[in-house]
Amino acid sequence: MSAILLAVRRRPVLTTVGALILAASVYFAVIAAQTRPAVDQVSPSPLLYRQAPALSGQSLYSAKTLSLRQFRGHFVLVNYFASWCSSCATEEAQIAKLARGTTVSVLGVDYDDSPGPARHFLSLYHARFPVIQDPSGTNSLRWGVSAPPESYLVAPNGIVLAKVVGPTTVRIIDALVTLAQEKGY
């Protein structure tokens, strides 16, 4: 009888210990995933590990033509956004901060938008990075963009390393660049 009583008393203790171990494992897995996202696990895309598609168009700020080729030799975040996109507003301060840093160049692509609202939107966040207008959607189609915000990390050699769907942060992009550098890009 005492053996049965002892087994019954151990069961809640073992259940509690098991739950604590499971909770700690989940917590540390989430922290690890936020700290170092895997380049090939951010979001699937047929563009990953291939040469970036052509990307060029008129600057949002002048009649000058901008091109992704101008950024060859640098990590570039190609960021598709729109002034009417609420998720874009969520991330824009982070994109502007990233552009002020030295790790990654930012090339914005104004998705299905008008120049006036796009310029106003960027000014709200003090965003000062080159932006290509894409009124016909040609660039968006080439890159497989379905809705903003979508961002692509392009290596200095022109290879697409990551696709991020939805709002991103400086922390995520910096972690992706660090991982890419560790892999030799």
pLDDT at residue 30, as a whole number: 42
Shared-domain flag, residues 97 and 8: no
Shared-domain flag, residues 6 and 85: no
Shared-domain flag, residues 85 and 18: no
What are the b/e assignments for 64-93, b being 16+ CB within 10 Å?
eebebeebeeebbbbbbbbbebebbbebbe
Shared-domain flag, residues 103 and 44: yes
Shared-domain flag, residues 64 and 98: yes
Q: Which of 108, 109, 47, 110 is nearest to 84 (CA)?
A: 110
Please spell the DSSP secondary structure of 20-41, one letter per residue: HHHHHHHHHHHHHHHHS--GGG
Q: Tell me the pLDDT band of 123, cut-offs 50, 70 and 90.
A: very high
pTM of the predicted model as reported, rounded to 2 decimal places: 0.77
Element (H, E) at 54: none
Least confident of 22-31, 60-69, 84-93: 22-31
Shared-domain flag, residues 67 and 150: yes
Tell me which residue range forms the domain holding 13: 1-35
Q: How far is CA 99 from the centre of its chain?
A: 13
In tens, the pLDDT along 137-153 reads: 999 999 999 999 999 99
For the chain, the domain total comes to 2
Shared-domain flag, residues 7 and 71: no
* Distance separating the N- and C-terminal Cα atoms of the chain: 67
pLDDT at residue 43, as a whole number: 82
Q: Tell me the sheet residues that pair with 51.
A: 159
Q: Which two tokens stand for residue 110?
A: 């104004």
Q: 50: which residues sit within 8 A by CB, 6+ positions away? A: 159, 160
Share of the chain above pLDDT 70, in %: 77
Q: Which two tokens stand for residue 43?
A: 């979001």
Residue 82 has pLDDT above 50, yes or no: yes
Domain of 124: which CATH number?
Answer: 3.40.30.10
Shared-domain flag, residues 130 and 163: yes
Shared-domain flag, residues 70 and 124: yes
Shared-domain flag, residues 127 and 169: yes
How many Å apart are CA 168 and CA 173, to the nearest integer? Answer: 7
Shared-domain flag, residues 17 and 58: no
